[in-house]
Amino acid sequence: MEPDILELESFLPYRLYRLADAVSREFSRIYRDRHGLTRPEWRTLSGLGQRGTMTATELGEQSAMHKTKVSRAVAELERRRWLTRTPDENDRRVEHLALTKAGLAAYREMVPLAIAFERELLGRLGAEERAAIVSGVTALEAKLTPEQGIGPRRASPVDQS
Amino acid sequence: MEPDILELESFLPYRLYRLADAVSREFSRIYRDRHGLTRPEWRTLSGLGQRGTMTATELGEQSAMHKTKVSRAVAELERRRWLTRTPDENDRRVEHLALTKAGLAAYREMVPLAIAFERELLGRLGAEERAAIVSGVTALEAKLTPEQGIGPRRASPVDQS
DNA sequence: CCAAACTGGTTTCATTTGTAACCATCGAAA
DNA sequence: TTTCGATGGTTACAAATGAAACCAGTTTGG
């Protein structure tokens, strides 16, 4: 009953990874070609654009990045003068990050491109397929506990690419 | 109508990537803890175990790896004496790769673990959710052209089940 | 009040990765 | 044949990544 070979092409972890990698690679052109951003930098920009102000830790939680990635991405965006740090009043370890005008401009420029990308991607599918991928991903996300790398988490850092 | 912010948590490329990364990271424990394999090494082992004999190029196509990754993975597995290279009779650029007894043993040991992992993962879902993720992934795979990093270059559409 | 444990964030170092250049061989065309 | 462009595969080098050590500031328990 147990097969003694594994069909890689049908193996969900592999398929999922390959799919995500292909999609992400394709999408990355939008921020890489345009501004030479890395994925962590894009996520940082996107997170701050979305929420306005966040600390590095919050950024890491929201966008599933390891703190070192956040740190480096923030440093780079600061170097570009796309964001500024404001020390917290009460806790001097914490810095509140926010986009500058230039950062916000870049963000605003990219949002429609990102949305168009997603729309185009989903547009290749039929309505049922679209529903399937979305609900399937949602279901699986829900089953992955924080310890397994997804979902909000308080203690103990997660690592993601 | 066009929102001027992007909700990262709902953005499919991000969700897909995060999900795949979490799953893959979890799964990687199986081959990493057990034998200290990297992902490219695991894929190489898996590909050869599945098909018996392949060239480096074929390996790269089957398991969606860049040729440098294949090259390095093959070199490492050869160093472990888990695979051997046999020069092609007609084309001296080509080498046919195959697992040794030791390589095959490691492969055979890991296949049930991989299958159990997948089963457990899908087992967390209900039947409908399971169907949704599988058919959703299948649908999206089918829409990604080879140039975008997925899909058979020659024929034989991506597998289901 | 003070030491220990903890937390936000950065840095160091080794490993992994991607890009491009490279070597050898092959195949087609002149 | 000779030449030239493709192809299989490896290597060199730079950039990205992860783990762990680290620094500074904060909290907690005695």
Residue A96 CA distance to nucleotide C18 C1' (Å): 34
Q: What is the mean pLDDT of residues A71-99?
A: 96
Q: How many helices (H) and strands (E) does chain B have?
A: 6, 3
Distance CA B156, CA B161 (A): 15
Whether the Cβ atoms of residue A151 and residue A144 lie closer than 8 Å to each other: yes
Q: What is the mean pLDDT of residues A139-147?
A: 83
Instruction: Residue A114: list chain B partners with CB under 8 A.
Output: 6, 11
Give the pLDDT confidence score for residue A100 in this predicted structure.
97
Gap from B3 CA to C13 C1', Å? 43
Q: Which nucleotides of chain D does any protein CB come within 7 A of?
A: 7-12, 15-20, 24-27
pLDDT computed for residue A3 by the predictor: 76
Q: Which residues of B touch A21 (CB under 8 A)?
A: 17, 20, 64, 149
Report residue A136: phi and psi, to 5°: -65, -45
Q: Which nucleotides of C are covered by protein (CB under 7 A)?
A: 7-12, 16-20, 24-27
How many of the other CB atoms lie within 10 Å of CB of A95? 15
Residue A152, pLDDT score: 55
The pLDDT-based confidence of A155 (bands split at 50, 70, 90) is: very low
Q: In this model, does residue A146 exceed pLDDT 90?
A: no
Mutation for B interface: A2, A4, A5, most B CBs within 10 A: A5
**Nearest CB partner across the interface for B7, out of A5, A50, A149:** A50
What pLDDT, on a 0 to 100 scale, did the predictor assign at position B159?
A: 23
d(CA A138, nearest CA chain B) in Å: 9
Instruction: Work out the minimum CA distance from A22 to partner chain B, whole angstroms.
Output: 5
- pLDDT, position B140: 96
Mean pLDDT of the region A57-63: 95
In the numeric block, the tokens 């780079």 are attached to: A76
Question: How far is it, in rounded angstroms, from Cα B36 to Cα B29?
Answer: 9
Residue-level pLDDT at A160? 42
pLDDT score of A105 more than 70: yes
Of A6, A16, A148, the CB nearest to B20: A16
Whole-number pLDDT of residue A55: 97
Grade residue B17 by pLDDT with cuts at 50, 70 and 90.
very high
Mean pLDDT across A49-70: 96
Element (H, E) at B142: helix B127-143
pLDDT for A98 beyond 50: yes
pLDDT tens per residue, range A4-51: 899 999 999 999 999 999 999 999 999 999 999 999 999 999 999 999
In this complex, the residue of B26, B129, B148 whose CB is nearest that of residue A148 is B26
For tokens 């803890």, the residue is B33
- Distance separating alpha carbons of residues A126 and A130, to the nearest angstrom: 6
d(CA A54, CA B107): 46
B27 and B117 in contact (C-beta within 8 Å)? yes
Among A1-5, B13-17, B21-25, B96-100, name the one with the lowest average pLDDT.
A1-5
Cβ distance of B133 and A140 shorter than 8 Å: yes
3-state secondary structure at position A99: strand
Whole-number Cα distances in Å, A84 to A40, A65, A67, A96: 17, 20, 18, 8
Contact flag B43-A14 (C-beta cutoff 8 Å): yes
% of residues, chain B, pLDDT over 70: 89
Classify domain A31-148 at the CATH topology level.
Arc Repressor Mutant, subunit A (1.10.10)
User: Which tokens is B78 given?
Assistant: 């050869």
**Measured distance CA(B2)–CA(A153) in Å, rounded:** 31
How far, in Å, CA of A159 to CA of A150, rounded? 10
Q: Is 70 exceeded by the pLDDT of residue A151?
A: no
pLDDT at site A159 = 38
| End-to-end Cα spacing for chain A | 37
pLDDT tens sequence across B94-136: 999 999 999 999 999 999 999 999 999 999 999 999 999 999 9
CB contact under 8 A, B135 and A140: no
Domain-wise residue ranges, chain A: 31-148
- Tell me what pLDDT residue B3 has: 76
- Exposure on the CB side of residue B72, measured as CA atoms within 13 A: 8
Q: Which CATH number fits domain B8-124: 1.10.10.10, 3.30.450.20, 3.30.70.1150, 3.60.21.10?
A: 1.10.10.10
Residue B136: both structure tokens together: 């959703």
pLDDT for B157: 28
8-state DSSP, B100: -
Strands A83-87 and A95-99: antiparallel
Q: How does residue B144 score in pLDDT terms, banded at 50, 70 and 90?
A: confident
How far is residue B80 from each of residues A18, A135, B91, measured CA to CA in Å? 27, 43, 26
Residue A145's pLDDT band, with cuts at 50, 70 and 90, is low
Residues making up chain B, counted from first to last: 161
CB of A93 within 7 Å of some strand D atom: yes
Tell me the pLDDT band of A144, cut-offs 50, 70 and 90.
Answer: confident
